[in-house]
Amino acid sequence: RAQEGQGRPAIMLRSCPTSAGILLALLGVGYCADFSGAVGGNRLLHAGPRSHAPSHSTAHLLRVASLRGGDQPSLVGKRPVSEDSAAATATPGGPPLLSAQAPLKRIALRGGKAAEEPEPEIDETLYSRQLYVLGHDAMRKMQKSSILLIGLGGLGVEIAKDLALAGVKSLTLHDPQETTPSDFAAQFYLGEADLGIGRAAATVEKLAGLNPHVTIDVLETEVNAEVVARYSLVVCTDRIFGECVRINDACRAQGVKFIMAQTRGVFGHIFVDFGADHEVTDTNGENPAQCLLSHVSSEEVGVVSTLEDTRHNLEDGDLVQISGVQGMEGLETLPPMKVKVLGPFSFSVGDTRGMGEYKGGGTVLQVKQAARMNFKTLRQSLQDPQFTTSDYGKIDRERQLLLGFQALDSFSAQLNGYPRATHEEDHHMILELAQGFNKEIITEDGKIINKPTVDEVDAALMRNLSRVSRAELAPIASVIGSITAQEVMKGVTGKFTPINQHFVFDASEALPDEELSAEEMQGDGGRYDSQILCFGKTVHEKLTNLKYFLVGAGAIGCEVLKNWAMMGVGCGPTGLVHVTDMDTIEKSNLNRQFLFRPSDINKLKSTTAGEKVTDMNPGFKVKTYETRVGSDTEHIFGDDFFDNLHGVCNALDNVQARTYMDQRCVYMQKPLLESGTLGTKGNVQVVIPHLTESYSSSRDPPEKAIPICTLKNFPNAIEHTIQWARDEFEGVYKQGMEDAGAFGTDPEFLVKLKKQPGTSQVTMEQLRDNLVSRRPAAFSDCVVWARLKFEELFTNNIKQLLFNFPLDMTTAAGTSFWSGPKRPPAPLVFDTSDPLHVEFVMSAANLRAYNYSIPQCRDVEAVKAAALDVMVPEFSPQKGVKIQVTEAEAEAAAAGVDVDDMALDKLAASLPPAADVAAMRLTPIEFEKDDDANFHMDYIAACSNLRATNYAIAVASKHETKLIAGKIIPAIATTTAMVTGFVCFELIKLVMAAPIEAYKNAFVNLALPFFAFSEPIAAPSRKFRTWDWSLWSRIDISMGDISLQAFIDHFQKEMNLEVSMISCGVSIIYSAFMTSKKKLEERLPMPMSQLVQSIAKVEIPQSQKYLVLEVCCTDEDDEDVETPYVRMKFRD
């Protein structure tokens, strides 16, 4: 019943705490408790004026502020400001702000949205990998967005870090709660020096150092409706539902988007409200499907067929446009058509009658459709919640956990804290509250304000949630924080599909199966109390004494190190983390690898990361290396090194290194934590000795190679022209110069060249051009060369191709030669008014100048003028020129023909003396994609697009070209952080020696969003007699450096098997049916190590103790028997 008291709205309820708590939470007002009697008895709850919660409290209750004197109602409980608040800059019409940069410049706002602003410039180098995920349009929108983040605990700082890296315009922090030692569990930017300081104020400068393009400031006063209106989006972290309901309502009224995020122990919850009409411009982030046509029928429901080997990858309802069709040009004028899939190579569209008859060619391009989403407010959503599922194996927990989170917040608001792990009455109260939230509540006027959402509340789940609710863990902060940050980006850009609308996650399988004793959960008031509360002292001590090898200190490596430092991994008396990475820091790394700053560019990643992470936890022990992992570094990372490890965590970016580490882990019987990302997609695989398959047990299919004849003569896609341009760059500016250098320094160069029939003639002609006929003496000569190169590549070669295969040519079957995947080309006419033509000459000339150590010229007008003065010889196509049409012809040509020694000798005689060449300052060019001033990408983009113009292929921007030419892996910080959170939970399970069903391999796409977790696949088992063995099994022989005869006898005696073959690596060292009697007599008495060195022609390092041997055997029935590999210890 509403009453008036002391000029403030108040609510008085007489009932059990459950009903009162629910009603107050749903109404969005604060409440406090005055308990009389035992838990569960009748209580009087009064919601009205309340004093501030103590600064050290974990929950700050909502208060209903007075509206007298025109004051704005407070939405978040007012808290003490820091001592520095007097120095905070005042913003006209708004609250004081403490800024880590220059005073904040507020933009004009109307209805919560920014007024027109100039388009912000994008730092292409810094954001290069992220741009391939979001795109330029979304990036520009994000650079105009202003975010208010409430709460700077472990979850809040994770969100703030990811948003700062992503590049929002401004990020305002609100959290005056004073720093305590418990914050060190997950808040990686807080330390001992920050104790007693407001968390936001203590964090702001470190966050500001992440990105110079983002303004980060602190809001020091209360959050009210006027404040909310200043932002594009508001994020509430670890605030109770009552507060969030009020803030969400205020955001809705102002047209501001809203997100709520919470973590409690190993549990997390996110709620998203982007308004009643949110537009999603790109639902999945995938490139539009595109394919070539083979036929289009002319009928009421036209059927479109693609080339035989070209799947269209469309779905029912997709929209497409068709272009480039010969004979049915009218199709190009139609609006996008909706498709119905008939098969992988065909689909139907609308009426194609009257469009003419299909003659050939054509391309289908998917037209991506925008989607609109209608969100409910938090107040509305709690009555009928919708979920984006985090784990389909736990789908029944979604509504249960939402009830649990509401119950925890109700408990916190009443008792000013969360349940105590060792107090059963607290857990019982949480169950009661959850059950209360699961009831229908109707007001006196008949309005339903709460509905039941589950049949029965799961008591065991509520107890687990209650027991760990006071804990804040780094892994869950990484998971929930990164997903929340991605949702923020979706909200302000419209890029990707948002969560609809609740998302709950739990890693309860990482909790101990057995009840922990009070002593086991008792902390010491330090940074690890949360971890001890969840997993116990025993597991915590094991974590701190781990010896782990982290391979890679890039994006994933930085996040892993941060989480491990928060968890105390390696901080114990015998613990140690080894980190290796041979790379140095580049500017493009700074967008994701958050431990690095601009001042760290060109420093080693491993060393720098090790130094930075110890600032987060001074007790973290790390040893860094700058060495790649591979067979050539096993003198560093050898058997002794691995013997001392508990496990390995990969943070790699290539399959080769991943496979090698997987093989080493299988051999050394060590667990492996494997993860990777690709844009918004991420995966985690846990490899456990003797339980699961290994990383190498399954492999992705190889990338489809582009046929040689397609690249050289018949491209039909921009990928073909980009690869062709990339090959041109390598051949002309790198390989050509390297060959010239080798000619000058290697006396055997010509002898070796004659043994390469496929390339010898071309290489000698290129040497003659580079060293004699076209050797430049000044930059003007480079321009002449570049202009003639244009004529050769884009005019003369095309004329020759059309001379060999005229446009009206038909095949033996009577069809047009220029049909299907073959697009008819057209030669280009050089034109200095065409920027693409000029860019080619400009970049080609400057690269040529660099090859010969000639000063470069960046004056475009001077280069244009010089290009116009070049005398271009008339070209006439030649008869007898062979052009390969099929892949077989191309492969035969690549294999070469008989070498004409006389012709080669004649070419060699035209070259200058080798000594003169050696004295030349020739510089081969290594392709570097990330330097915008080196002309590399200028050349490749221009070269590719000119060739695309030849073949009427849509050109690509330099940004798009760089992705393909540089083989760039799109990346964003959110996916990386999320993946490492999953990895850390798997590490905890490994320490606990959990059963296989507790582990989770993860497959995630944040763009959709889609989450899937699965139990690791068990290692396949094979049987030999009574022995079951798998890829983890081996036969250990520790008899010293025994002879071959003794080795064979051992198998016969111990396993009743006859050895028929023994191999070491790629060398067969014994074969019963191939080795001659004489060789057998020589080899049988030889020690195994000597035999291996003799036959394999390798030296065994002194550090190597074992030989790894593969053995083929037969049993007493002369049947082949499969056995594990043999590890033979031949020296101590």
Q: How far is Cα 60 from Cα 256, in angstroms, rounded to an integer?
A: 23
In this structure, the strands spanning 146-150 and 170-174 are parallel
Longest pairwise C-alpha distance within the chain: 111
Type of residue numbered 978 = M
Catalytic residue among 236, 649, 665, 709: 709
Instruction: Return all residues near 654 (Cβ < 8 A) that are at least 6 apart.
Output: none
* Beta strands across the sheet bearing 337-338: 337-338, 319-326, 360-367, 290-296, 303-306, 346-348, 340-343
Instruction: Return all residues near 287 (Cβ < 8 A) that are at least 6 apart.
Output: none
Q: Which two tokens stand for residue 769?
A: 């051009």
What single string gives the DSSP state of each residue in 726-790? HHHHIIIIIIHHHHHHHHHH-TTHHHHHTT-TTTHHHHHHHHHIIIIIT--SSHHHHHHHHHHHH
> Is 709 assigned a catalytic role?
yes
For 876-914, letters b (16+ CB in 10 Å) and e give eeeeeeebbbeeeebeebeeeeebeeeebeebbeebeeb
Q: Which two tokens stand for residue 61?
A: 């209750």
**Which 3 state secondary structure label does DSSP give 824?**
coil
- Which of 802, 778, 1101 lies closest to 950, judged by CA? 802
Q: How far is Cα 262 from Cα 479, in angstroms, rounded to an integer?
A: 11
Q: Long-range contacts made by residues 350-355, C-beta under 8 angstroms, separation at least 24?
A: 350/301, 350/302, 351/299, 351/300, 351/301, 351/302, 352/296, 352/297, 352/298, 352/299, 352/302, 352/328, 353/298, 353/299, 353/300, 353/302, 354/298, 354/330, 355/298, 355/328, 355/329, 355/330, 355/331
Please report how many Cα atoms fall inside a 13 Å half-sphere around the Cα of residue 656, on the Cβ side: 4
- Which of 1115, 1109, 1126 lies closest to 1024, judged by CA? 1115
DSSP 103: P
Instruction: Tell me whether residue 829 is exposed, middle or buried, using C-beta atoms within 10 angstroms of its C-beta: 0 to 12, 13 to 18, 19 or more.
Output: exposed
Q: Long-range contacts made by residues 862-869, C-beta under 8 angstroms, separation at least 24?
A: 863/783, 863/838, 864/832, 864/838, 866/780, 866/783, 866/784, 867/783, 867/786, 867/787, 867/830, 867/832, 867/838, 867/841, 868/832
The H or E element spanning position 276 is none
Q: How far is Cα 76 from Cα 87, in angstroms, rounded to an integer?
A: 23
Q: How far is Cα 928 from Cα 949, in angstroms, rounded to an integer?
A: 25
Q: How far is Cα 120 from Cα 566, in angstroms, rounded to an integer?
A: 37
Q: Long-range contacts made by residues 85-88, C-beta under 8 angstroms, separation at least 24?
A: 85/220, 88/218, 88/220
Phi/psi region, residue 324 (left: phi>0; alpha: psi -120 to 50; beta: rest), is: left
Give phi and psi for 1071, each to the nearest 5. -145, 120
In this structure, the strands spanning 146-150 and 233-237 are parallel
Q: Give catalytic residues, as residue numbers.
A: 709
